[in-house]
Structure 1
Amino acid sequence: MIKQTFQNPLLSGFYPDPSICRVGEDYYMVTSSFVYYPGLPIFHSRDLIHWEQIGHGIERPDQFDYKNCETSLGLWAPTIRYHEETFYIINTFVSEGREARRDNYIITAKDPVGPWSDPVFVEHADGIDSSLFFDDDGSMWYAGNYICPEALYEGHHGIYLCELDPGTFQFKGERRIIWDGSKSRSKWIEAPHIYKKDGYYYLMVAEGGTFINHSVMMARCTAIDGTYEICPRNPIVSHRHLPPLSDISVTGHADIVETQNGEWWMVLLAVRPYQNDSSISTTENCGHFHYNLGRETFMAPVIWDEDGWLRLANETGLINREERLPNLPAAYVPLADPNDDFESDTLAMIWNTIHPPVTPFYSLTERKGFLRLTLCPDRISEITTPAFIGRRQQHKLCQAKTAMEFTPASHMEEAGLVLIQDDRFNYIFTKAIKNGQTILRVAKTESGTYSILRELPVEPAERIYLSAQCNETTYSFYYGYSEREMICAMDGLDAALLSSTVNGGFTGAYMGMYASSNGSESENHADFDWFHYFY
């Protein structure tokens, strides 16, 4: 019997702020990536269930200068749209601090696989989470959020609209405020998307902040730049009324798409929290509420009611772990291989660096079948571009394992595995030397302070196997001199260190390979034969 349901999340792990569009029978989706490079992962599907990553919107180091961008800055909340044989992504690049500099730009491509154009910045476009809408007459519109200059309360934001010149992507005419948050006493309104249906322009926004009060709200108007009527049932989607430690929490930031069969579906972000009685303090007043995987992409059916407003089309009115399938033919795609033997000359799409490597620090060709990391002075605990190649942690229970060949030449050199939320919160498991003795070092960075947790002597063998075990509330490190040998280096490490509620950021945990000369110059390197991810 063919299963008639699918399991959320649609994209597991750190894939927040999804935006979706349809071209014929093909669906395309893009999510935020912040400082991880390549940026703006782009996915394709023909049945809304099976998604294959096909490219990135940002994949050339010269497209942006990420210098000094901490982990939760960079590329925020993209929107993808299609108009007259061209794909558009509009996005906000945030640098110099979350409230300091926000540049909104547009990139285009004839094929979503790429290449995508260099960014064209929209002058005088302040705010974040910008969006595009193409009207029936061919006009092109920009929607963005703004902070009300005379705020009546904390989080008093609104949405503005302005027509764009389709040739220059610059503002054309006057900006108009189409939703002032004070009308509905809404907080932190952002992520506007405009849709046209049955004579109305519908405006959908995120509201309530990016934590447990997150939600989706709507308004509508018969003129795109008119006075919008607020939906009386707002929020149309939220789990804010549920216990924070529900199976799914922090639902919001949505986009919708109509299938070729007339169904409507919503993609949005949410998290899968866990409880951890940790002593590590959080940046939110959230008790023992944690999530390491970041904000993930979920999907649910929606329907337009007789009164013309949107609602979830299921029995619970919630975002569920199990949901019915869309009325589309199943279209399977090759499963992404979680393991990498580094046999290709280019990195697989699962891999990212922190910031674009303007000066290359890795190679897949210098030693065929190995990923070679050149030891860089940069440290993983700095806002910089360390010699780090990582992938998302996508499961609460998982294991990462690698085979490394590395001989440290000085006490400043180290290489191995890193589990990281950002430069201020991470675990480091590396091979090094101390007083002439080969050691394995377990260290952590907490609130920006680096400390060594354990150093244990090991054999000076060139090849060593390193692994990290994730057990929802704890992490453990193991090593061995053969592939199946698992000697515990340190267990029971508090997973809350890598929780988004601890670092107060917008990303999820990464795990990967790392090499550093810790501020000194080095010509040494570390070779990684393979990296396996089990779940």
Structure 2
Amino acid sequence: MSRQAVSGAEHPIVSGFHPDPSICRVGEDYYLAHSSFEYFPGAPIFHSRDLVHWKQIGNILDRRSQFVPGGGTASGGIYGPTLRHHGGRFYYVTTNVYDSRGQLIVSAEDPAGEWSEPVFVREAAGIDPDLCWGDDGECYLSWTGGVAGSDLKGILQARIDPDTGEMKGEPYLVWQGTGLAACEAPHMHRVGDHWYLMLAEGGTERGHSVTFARAEHPEGPWEACPSNPVFSHRSTALPVQNTGHADLVQTATGEWAAVYLAVRPRGFTPQFHVLGRETFLAGVDWVDGWPVFDEHRYDFTPDDTTFVDDFASEAWDLRWVAASSEPDAVAERTGEGLNLRDPGDGSPGLLCTRVRDLRWSAEAEFEDTGRFVLWLDERHWYGLTCENGEVRAEARLSGATALLGSAPAPEGPLVLRIDAVEPDAETLTAIGPDDIVLSVKNGEDFVELGRLDGRYLSTEVATGFTGRMLGVGAVGGGSLLREYRYRPTE
């Protein structure tokens, strides 16, 4: 399928569930990291030389000693991070909401890994931490939290030792934002004579915005930008919404750019986004000492998201993650396929990849039994299961599971297919973001067993912070997966 140039204002640079982007540059190399919530390995990290084409080079939190699990709670785990480079090392700081030990910091000389064991800033209770280094070499941790002993909430800050997590003084409040909801996600940057503090405000929904303040010192006092919010798509009809949670980077040629999260909602009002929060790119100009976002600066041809895995490799492809478990607990690579099993840890028992496109087709080829699902959380999924000589198409919506259709299991290899297609709606109010079609291969043809409106697997319906995943799992004592195939169909 040929791919055409698109505007960066309408297409993500990293598509699918890749929220809370943080970026840094070393020489001509750019690195981009994300939050990942309950999925393990966590914190995917990407590399680029041009800001628009990105290749995943690792998962920062790839050992359970770095990322303690939380018992299967959806939208828990790894929240908004910051990625920085200082003194020859990369630092990644984040919040694991499953862990009560405070903000988590890991570091590495090579961003592809391996990353260190974590240190914790125990006194820093809250979310969305940021690291920056002042002109005097001091490291400043800023985060979203509340002031102890009062009702004050906002952006707190303290000097720390990033290699030990030791705090060098009492935290202090630096800014409470402009008064919009959910003042969070601080990032601090030195630009010219000023320090700039950028925030996400308005909540990560339709009111999401980027706001700025500046000061002569990292501690403040802070002067709010007179044109706040400097960037937002709120109350517009633009096809990309929820823009915010941005981070800045100076390019190798001295210009400035910003990465930010946004969503692509579709369907009838109030519209529904299904892929989660994705990462977008904008140019940044400085006018009278304040940033001006230019979301139309970058045009590019999107990377091909096609993915085929026959599991012949000795290592997991970086795309594979487990929902509230870990890949090695859910499956074993045999060299001839993948032995799927119930991990027995209370998790959904799914090995997952992110859905990267609005329209797509995916197939899972099993030996004889298996499970293939389109997953948002344990209460919201559509899927196919083959066991006891029968293939069932089912949907789980909140507290109810519905049988959509069934058929006898085919002879020979079992190929289960899920497609996201244009909605086939009889009325205007029935237009969702897509229709999900569940099929099984019989001979040379696929037999449709179920078709359901995709809005029920959207954040607007299910709530939460994640996006759609495609998951494979075992039936009974185990299942053998021969091959997995995914391709965009837009």
Instruction: Give the alignment's TM-score, normalised by structure 2.
Output: 0.91
User: What does 1:2-21 align with in structure 2 at a 5 Å threshold?
Assistant: 8-21=11-24
Label 1:209 to 1:529 Cα distance change in 2 as closer, same or farther (>3 A): same
Counterpart residue number, 2:318? 349
Label 1:95 to 1:209 Cα distance change in 2 as closer, same or farther (>3 A): same
For 1:525, which of 461, 466, 478 is the aligned residue?
A: 478
1:486 aligns with 2:442: no
Counterpart residue number, 1:188? 182
Instruction: Give the alignment's TM-score, normalised by structure 1.
Output: 0.83
For 1:223, which of 200, 217, 226 is the aligned residue?
A: 217
For 1:442, which of 393, 396, 420 is the aligned residue?
A: 393
Could you tell me how far 1:3 is from its partner in structure 2?
A: 7.1
Label 1:386 to 1:308 Cα distance change in 2 as closer, same or farther (>3 A): same
Residues 78, 90 of structure 1: 8 Å contact kept: yes
Counterpart residue number, 2:355? 393
1:416 aligns with 2:371: yes
Could you tell me how far 1:359 is from its partner in structure 2?
A: 6.8
| Aligned mates of 2:359, 2:475 — CA distance in 1 | 28
Counterpart residue number, 2:271? 289
Could you tell me how far 1:487 is from its partner in structure 2?
A: 1.1
Could you tell me how far 1:150 is from its partner in structure 2?
A: 8.9
Label 1:504 to 1:5 Cα distance change in 2 as closer, same or farther (>3 A): closer
For 1:94, which of 80, 93, 97 is the aligned residue?
A: 97
User: What does 1:145-294 align with in structure 2 at a 5 Å threshold?
Assistant: 145-147=144-146, 157-181=153-177, 184-243=178-237, 246-276=238-268, 287-294=269-276
Residues 461-511 of structure 1 show CA distances to partners (whole Å, capped at 9, x for unaligned) of 3521110011242101111144x42111112x1211110111111100001
Q: Which runs of 5+ in 2 are unaligned?
A: 422-432
Counterpart residue number, 1:24? 27
* Root-mean-square deviation (Å): 2.4
Could you tell me how far 1:385 is from its partner in structure 2?
A: 2.2
| Aligned mates of 2:455, 2:471 — CA distance in 1 | 18
Counterpart residue number, 1:371? 338
Residues 382, 396 of structure 2: 8 Å contact kept: yes
| Aligned mates of 2:399, 2:226 — CA distance in 1 | 45
Amino acid in the other structure paired with 2:363: K
Aligned to 2:227, the other structure's residue is in SS state: coil
Aligned to 2:401, the other structure's residue is in SS state: strand
Aligned to 2:455, the other structure's residue is in SS state: helix
For 2:464, which of 489, 502, 505 is the aligned residue?
A: 505
| Aligned mates of 2:62, 2:81 — CA distance in 1 | 15
Counterpart residue number, 1:425? 380
Could you tell me how far 1:358 is from its partner in structure 2?
A: 8.6
Residues 56, 318 of structure 2: 8 Å contact kept: yes
Counterpart residue number, 2:292? 311
Counterpart residue number, 2:281? 299
For 2:407, which of 442, 456, 462 is the aligned residue?
A: 456
| Aligned mates of 2:57, 2:399 — CA distance in 1 | 36
Counterpart residue number, 1:411? none
Counterpart residue number, 1:521? none
| Aligned mates of 1:359, 1:333 — CA distance in 2 | 32
Amino acid in the other structure paired with 2:472: M
Residues 105, 122 of structure 1: 8 Å contact kept: yes
Could you tell me how far 1:114 is from its partner in structure 2?
A: 0.4
Q: Sequence identity, in percent?
A: 36
Amino acid in the other structure paired with 2:381: N
Residues 276, 459 of structure 2: 8 Å contact kept: yes
| Aligned mates of 1:83, 1:343 — CA distance in 2 | 38
Residues 237, 252 of structure 1: 8 Å contact kept: yes
| Aligned mates of 1:29, 1:64 — CA distance in 2 | 19
| Aligned mates of 1:481, 1:473 — CA distance in 2 | 25
Aligned to 2:283, the other structure's residue is in SS state: strand
| Aligned mates of 1:34, 1:311 — CA distance in 2 | 31
1:467 aligns with 2:417: yes
Could you tell me how far 1:421 is from its partner in structure 2?
A: 0.5
| Aligned mates of 1:29, 1:473 — CA distance in 2 | 30
Residues 367-414 of structure 1 show CA distances to partners (whole Å, capped at 9, x for unaligned) of x23111024557xxxxx323311111111111111211135xxxxxxx
Could you tell me how far 1:334 is from its partner in structure 2?
A: 9.1
Amino acid in the other structure paired with 1:361: V
Label 1:440 to 1:166 Cα distance change in 2 as closer, same or farther (>3 A): closer
